[in-house]
Amino acid sequence: MKNAKKAIALFCCLAAIAVSLSARPQQDAAAGGSTASAEPLRVGIMPDADSLPFMVARDEGFFTAEGVNVELINFQNPQERDAAIQAGRLDASISDLLAAAFLTAGGFDMKVTSLTDGRYGIVGSAKLNVKTLADLRGKRVGLSTNTIIQYTVDAQLASAGISMSEYEPVSVPRMPLRLEMIQNGQIEAVSLPEPLLTAAVAQGGALLSTTDATGIDAGILLFSKKILDSRLNDVTKFYRAYYRAAQKINAGPDAYRDYLVEKAAFPAAVRDAYRFVTYRKPSLPDKAQIDQALAWLKTRNLLEADLKAEDLTDGRIAAAAAAW
């Protein structure tokens, strides 16, 4: 009888400990903290300039040093990335302001937490004697329609006095095909992000314009609001590792030329020709940039919802980063 009572008492004690341990992560999560959980932050990236600091942070152990578990998931095109976001398979992703607006309008609770630093540009065909933006009035430009690419093309051509109705947008969703078309003289111009932009120029294309000149800040990082609310400490650690990697690249970009090809999957043609972007401290896009992107979507009849800049953004990370 005594043994039975001891066994019951021991069982109750162990059960109480188990309940206490199982409740603790939930309490930490409710407080916005993180635990020693192995659950990674799943972050979608692309083989582009925006994603480079995230890859460096992973490969040089900066995430581990900060104590955050991160899984970078590679996508080769925005369509697959956006499908993964909508299916709930990602906690965060490299994206752009247009995609953020579409997701918000569609009821997906993803928030813009910071800008990213990429570069988009227009390359003209040397074979078709295209040398300036002015040469594109009435001409064809290969791009992906209704996307950040077309948004940047409209802005760059507007800077040369060419309205969105004064050129012919040609839908070429696959970026490698755009690169091939400009190389072969099959089209007057194409728009590409880095590193394919540099590859096109290295292979004989004429660089007509980039977003560096027009000051467009449309590349961003999205995070799930659920993750921001429950794991803000982990997200902050993630960003600290990102910024450490960004600073290291800024301080010695040439040291990463082999990395571009061997690890980041940039085309071999860009190794020596690539002009590194300057990576900035995490911050939100200016309200004017968001308003401009939303206005473009309205002009193109792509968005019915009346969204405001604050509907898209979450400023908690940017506020924390201001003190770094």
Question: pLDDT tens digit string along 242-289?
Answer: 999 999 999 999 999 999 999 998 999 899 999 999 999 999 999 999
Structure tokens at 244: 């450490």
Q: How far is CA 278 from CA 119, 174, 245, 300, 301, in A?
A: 10, 27, 12, 31, 34
Is 66 in a helix, a strand, or coil?
helix
φ, ψ of residue 321 to 5 degrees: the values are: -70, -25
Amino acid at 298: K
User: Which residue type is seen at 308?
Assistant: K
| Helix-helix angle 78-86:97-105, to 10 degrees | 30
| pLDDT value for 98 | 97
Residue located via tokens 């004429």: 206
Whole-structure pTM value: 0.85
Alpha carbon distance 35, 309 (integer Å):
32
**Looking at residue 4, what is its pLDDT?**
40
Place of tokens 């009346």: 306
* pLDDT for 27: 34
For residue 258, give every residue at least 6 positions away whose Cβ sits within 8 Å of its Cβ, in sequence order, or none. 271
Report residue 7's pLDDT band, with 50, 70 and 90 as the boundaries.
Answer: very low
